Amino acid sequence: MINKKVNSVNDATKGISDNMTFMLGGFGLSGIPENAIKALVDSGIKGLTCISNNAGVDDFGLGLLLQKKQIKKMVSSYVGENDEFERQMLSGELDVELIPQGTLAERCRAAQAGFPAIYTPAGYGTEVAEGKETREFDGKMYVLEHAFKADFAFVKAWKGDAAGNLIFKGTARNFNPVMCGAAKITVAEVEELVPVGELDPNQIHIPGIFVQRIFKGENYEKRIEQRTVRQKE
Amino acid sequence: MINKKVNSVNDATKGISDNMTFMLGGFGLSGIPENAIKALVDSGIKGLTCISNNAGVDDFGLGLLLQKKQIKKMVSSYVGENDEFERQMLSGELDVELIPQGTLAERCRAAQAGFPAIYTPAGYGTEVAEGKETREFDGKMYVLEHAFKADFAFVKAWKGDAAGNLIFKGTARNFNPVMCGAAKITVAEVEELVPVGELDPNQIHIPGIFVQRIFKGENYEKRIEQRTVRQKE
Amino acid sequence: MLKVINEIFRVSEDKKQNIMLDKTGIAKRIAKEVQDGYYVNLGIGIPTLVANYVREDIEVEFQSENGVLGMGPFPFEGEEDADIINAGKQTITTLPGASFFDSAMSFSMIRGQHVDLTILGAMEVAENGDIANWKIPGKMVKGMGGAMDLVASAENIIVAMMHTNRAGASKLLKKCSLPLTGVGCVKKIVTNLAVIEVTDKGFKLLERAPGVSVDEIKKATEGNLIVEGEIPEMNI
Amino acid sequence: MLKVINEIFRVSEDKKQNIMLDKTGIAKRIAKEVQDGYYVNLGIGIPTLVANYVREDIEVEFQSENGVLGMGPFPFEGEEDADIINAGKQTITTLPGASFFDSAMSFSMIRGQHVDLTILGAMEVAENGDIANWKIPGKMVKGMGGAMDLVASAENIIVAMMHTNRAGASKLLKKCSLPLTGVGCVKKIVTNLAVIEVTDKGFKLLERAPGVSVDEIKKATEGNLIVEGEIPEMNI
């Protein structure tokens, strides 16, 4: 077993620096790498490009990095829950590249799987396709989209082991698996770090080969964005 | 819950006919859809194109279809365990397209995921790339390979439910998941058909949406090709 | 099974109190398009309401692009789980037979046309089936989320929207003025005034909302409106 | 952990009795190239033997392209499972920390260069790094299996083979005569005679097998052989 365990988020984020490109898992505030984000905020590094489906809210998730103006560019599919984001974007301080959600997922997967580019129908005929190669296959039009290149991927899983194996929970899975191995270094934080051999090899979502560093995260807030409930009758 | 359960392999293979293209899961004899193969043999349909990593052995797996000369063309990555196969190939009765194993997997996945084609480095500069488009990305050469088009995919899983959800076991997983939803109709046979709700939604390998018909297979032989063991000391 | 969903969605709807009757009517009419055995992706807004009115004698599964198939009702108070949400970031539950998966597999379902019906809102639809629903230049841009993947992939797209915008201008146009979400993809539109099919020749009027005249629909439709024979009233 | 594998592989090797000493020697020499923390894909034949000789004080995981990472020794008699095999279709076991996955993910590991070292056999290697190992025209063609994906993707490929074929002809050529498996991909070759690096200028001799002279290696090498300075003997 190749040991990927590090003891702290500081060890896990070793090597981060200004102007790097990061991938960050999560959909809304669900399944975001809370510990890594906090460490990035504390580090004070700036000029970051962040590839993440969303940009958090004003006071949580990537919003924390935005507050401190550490992000130069966001690559996302949906960013609408964040006033500071809006201010920075409209003032031109923040560069924003909006891309379709499935394209975002697949450009991560392409990087993970060694594909240079993919042809997707999403965005054909729209401004998303401007300046990009388009091509017809079987009478349908597709846009050529390239694999992402990133320095670090920060993902959050439910359970993991020192071999780097990961299991995600519910819809907190989202973009986390496709970002594993899609950057030069993948850092996984987990709620539970279990002994090697405890996870069923048949039920591992991401094998450890895609993960370089793993640590047990602390103090998960797991904030809910839209608390919708029903009453017991 | 949308019910995919059928009661027999005959119901499951309804609609098969001469000259169709089938995908069949399995690696060697591991994880092959034994019940479906038997039904195809019994049906007597001919002129088949079979997309399958291997071609079985003389008296098991796809070898059974070869014995009855039902296969017109094989698309595989490795076919070396089968005398009848060799005879038919050398005599020209059988058309064989050999493609790299990773390309085979990804051409299935492309069909499943709605991608028309992929760029893979495998086979560049070899006869596999002859007549195909090649292209450079970042200084490396890739070959354009197209998504498969198939009429039926026959897969074998370990556990499944009437919603079509599947869980595979060990390396019997192999090509089975990527073939689900990669053909017009996906037929899954399972060793255990469990009540809907029993499978953990977090641990399902293939969601039921990719499966059109599911049934409980019978009399699995699960033959071992290379029985390698060690002695207890 | 659906009964449970229906009851729940109604609860939330009643609670909100801001659902206009015609939005409910649109949802009710669209619900009739949902067939037994359909996998359905519902957009945010009016489309979400459709789940309330699907017939109870058919089986339908709802997919949410953030990674769940087999969505159920909202959780009971106190049972909500931050790890189980829908694409609108709302806490949800799952029904028996549900599954969770990653974003790549979710869009494999969508792009690979395994989802049978996509219902979404729009700011504008053009008579050639173009749709615009993600961006108003100069205003805050929230992003397209999964909408571009959905409209580029789905064979069966129904748009749920009001026939005109707040200023009274038609949203059914000769040509979209806003940045497009997808081209030539919308097949059917259900508005507060009409059911319209998008054909090679333009908007074809299929049904009128109760009490609405063909003339009123014509007036509210900027694009070419094809009216052939008697136009029946919607049966909701 | 590796100790277990080693013991096991040795058992199977002893049992077979058909392993030539030089093949074992090749495997032993290649084993020295395996570093701590490596994920390794081993081809069939000599490469499989490499697992026997990896240092016991380092951690290595073996990947098999049919869908397993963390392969262990063969199972005890009676414990073999048809659902747990390697790419050679042999029954295997897994070690703690192992995982199973589908063929697409397996080749994501390979194509995505997450596997650190690929060791495979060859029929021919050319001085530009081309490799041929899957087809002899006119003879039975078994297929390339995963070899083309492996050689097209891996950054670190070591070929394990005899220096000459059964007819005594060199397998290290100016140009491959057989259909290629991949182009310009081989970095290192370990044969029964030598350790050779593939450079821009051709085969560079790094080490001699014990007792083998530079002249003997030159004679057995059809391609350009670069000999610079004193060539040390392999340390096995």
The secondary structure of B20-67 as a DSSP string is -EEEE--BTTBT--HHHHHHHHHHT--SEEEE-S---BTTBTTHHHHH
Query: Residue A92, exposed/middle/buried by CB under 10 A (0-12, 13-18, 19+)?
Result: exposed
C and A make contact (3+ CB pairs below 8 Å): yes
Query: For D17-91, where are the alpha helices, taking DSSP H only?
Result: 21-31, 46-50
Helix pair D103-111, B101-113: axis angle to 10 deg: 120
Q: Could D112 and A162 be called an inter-chain contact, meaning their C-beta atoms sit closer than 8 Å? A: no
Q: What is d(CA D101, CA B109) in angstroms, rounded to the nearest whole number?
A: 14
Q: What is the pLDDT of residue A24?
A: 98
Taking alpha carbons only, the member of B56, B9, B51, B48 closest to residue B30 is B56
Q: Report chain C's mean pLDDT, rounded to a whole number.
A: 90
For residues B19-30, average pLDDT: 98
pLDDT reading at C11 higher than 70: no
What confidence tens digit (pLDDT) does each residue in C164-192 have?
Answer: 999 999 999 999 999 999 999 999 999 99
How does residue B80 score in pLDDT terms, banded at 50, 70 and 90? confident
Q: What is d(CA D65, CA C50) in angstroms, rounded to the nearest whole number?
A: 46
A118 touches chain C (CB under 8 A): no
B33 touches chain D (CB under 8 A): no
Q: Could C104 and A80 be called an inter-chain contact, meaning their C-beta atoms sit closer than 8 Å? A: no
Sort out which chain B residues have CB atoms less than 8 A from C110's CB and list them.
114
Q: What is d(CA A156, CA C82) in angstroms, rounded to the nearest whole number?
A: 13
Q: What is d(CA C21, CA A82) in angstroms, rounded to the nearest whole number?
A: 31
Chains A, B: CB contacts under 8 A, how many? 36
What confidence tens digit (pLDDT) does each residue in D117-149 have?
Answer: 999 999 999 999 999 999 998 876 899 999 999
Q: Could A115 and B115 be called an inter-chain contact, meaning their C-beta atoms sit closer than 8 Å? A: no
Q: What is d(CA D230, CA D227) in angstroms, rounded to the nearest whole number?
A: 8
Identify the active-site residue in C56, C59, C65, C222: C65
Query: Residue D116, exposed/middle/buried by CB under 10 A (0-12, 13-18, 19+)?
Result: buried
Q: What is the pLDDT of residue D141?
A: 81
Q: Could C59 and B3 be called an inter-chain contact, meaning their C-beta atoms sit closer than 8 Å? A: yes
pTM, entire model: 0.95
**DSSP result, chain C:** -HHHHHHHHHHHHHHH----HHHHHHHHHHHTT--TT-EEEE-SSHHHHHGGGS-TTS--EEEETTTEEEE--PPBTT---TT-B-TTSBB--EEEEEEE--HHHHHHHHHTT---EEEE--SEEETTS-EE-S--TTS-----TTHHHHHHH-SSEEEE--SB-TTS-BSEESS--SPPSBSS---EEE-SSEEEEEETTEEEEEEEPTT--HHHHHHT--S-EE--S--PBP--
Q: What is d(CA A36, CA A45) in angstroms, rounded to the nearest whole number?
A: 13
Q: What is the pLDDT of residue C9?
A: 43
Q: What is d(CA A34, CA A225) in angstroms, rounded to the nearest whole number?
A: 15
Other beta carbons within 10 angstroms of residue B132's beta carbon come to 12
Sort out which chain A residues have CB atoms less than 8 A from B120's CB and list them.
115
Q: What is the pLDDT of residue D13?
A: 42
pLDDT by residue for chain D (236 residues), tens only, comes to 344 444 444 434 444 333 334 789 999 999 999 999 999 999 988 998 999 899 999 999 999 999 999 999 999 999 999 999 999 999 999 999 999 999 999 999 999 999 999 999 999 999 999 999 999 988 768 999 999 999 999 999 999 999 999 999 999 999 999 999 999 999 999 999 999 999 999 999 999 999 899 999 999 999 999 999 999 999 87
Closest to B202 (Cβ–Cβ): which among A117, A146, A169?
A169
Q: Residue C53 is which amino acid? A: Y
Q: What is the pLDDT of residue C140?
A: 67
Q: What is the pLDDT of residue A53?
A: 98
Q: What is d(CA D106, CA B105) in angstroms, rounded to the nearest whole number?
A: 9
- In the block, tokens 């005594």 appear at D168
Q: What is d(CA D17, CA C80) in angstroms, rounded to the nearest whole number?
A: 63
Residue C121, min C-alpha distance to chain B (Å): 24
Q: Report chain B's mean pLDDT, rounded to a whole number.
A: 97
Task: Give the pairing of strands D39-42 and D61-64.
Answer: parallel
Closest to B116 (Cβ–Cβ): which among A115, A138, A201?
A138
Q: Which chain D residue is nearest to residue A205, measuring alpha carbons?
A: D101
User: Which chains border B (3 or more CB–CB pairs < 8 Å)?
Assistant: A, C, D
Q: What are phi and psi of A151, to 5 degrees?
A: -85, -45
Closest to B102 (Cβ–Cβ): which among D79, D82, D111?
D111
Q: What is the pLDDT of residue A82?
A: 85
Q: Could B170 and A202 be called an inter-chain contact, meaning their C-beta atoms sit closer than 8 Å? A: yes
Task: Give the pairing of strands D194-199 and D225-226.
Answer: unpaired
Q: What is the pLDDT of residue D213?
A: 93
Q: Residue B150 is which amino acid? A: A
Q: What is the pLDDT of residue B197?
A: 97
Q: What is d(CA A172, CA A166) in angstroms, rounded to the nearest whole number?
A: 13
Q: Which chain C residue is nearest to residue B186, measuring alpha carbons?
A: C114
Q: What is the pLDDT of residue A224?
A: 96
Closest to A116 (Cβ–Cβ): which among B119, B146, B169?
B119
Sort out which chain A residues have CB atoms less than 8 A from C84's CB and list them.
170-171
Q: Could C69 and B209 be called an inter-chain contact, meaning their C-beta atoms sit closer than 8 Å? A: yes
How does residue B138 score in pLDDT terms, banded at 50, 70 and 90? very high
Interface test with A, best of C13, C48, C89, C175 (most A CBs within 10 A): C89
What confidence tens digit (pLDDT) does each residue in C98-151 have?
Answer: 999 999 999 999 999 999 999 999 999 999 999 999 999 887 689 999 999 999
Q: What is d(CA D152, CA A115) in angstroms, rounded to the nearest whole number?
A: 12
Q: What percent of chain B has pLDDT over 70?
A: 100
Consecutive 10-residue runs of chain A (233 residues): their mean pLDDT?
97 98 98 98 98 96 97 95 87 95 98 98 98 98 98 98 98 98 98 98 98 98 95 79
Closest to A78 (Cβ–Cβ): which among C8, C92, C145?
C145
B98 touches chain D (CB under 8 A): yes
Q: What percent of chain B has pLDDT over 90?
A: 94
B192 touches chain A (CB under 8 A): no
Q: What is the pLDDT of residue D140?
A: 67
ipTM, two decimals, is 0.95
A211 touches chain D (CB under 8 A): no
Q: Mark whether D197 is an active-site residue.
A: no
Closest to A1 (Cβ–Cβ): which among D59, D110, D112?
D59
Taking alpha carbons only, the member of A181, A123, A122, A125 closest to residue A153 is A181
Residues of C with CB under 8 A from a CB of B: 1, 37-39, 59-61, 63, 68-70, 94-101, 104-105, 107-115, 153
Contacts of C181 (CB under 8 A, 6+ apart): A126, C122, C131, C132, C133, C134, C144, C147, C148, C151
Q: Name the helix (H) or strand (E) containing A220.
A: none
Residue B9, min C-alpha distance to chain D (Å): 22
Q: Could B161 and C94 be called an inter-chain contact, meaning their C-beta atoms sit closer than 8 Å? A: no
Identify the active-site residue in D65, D124, D127, D207: D65
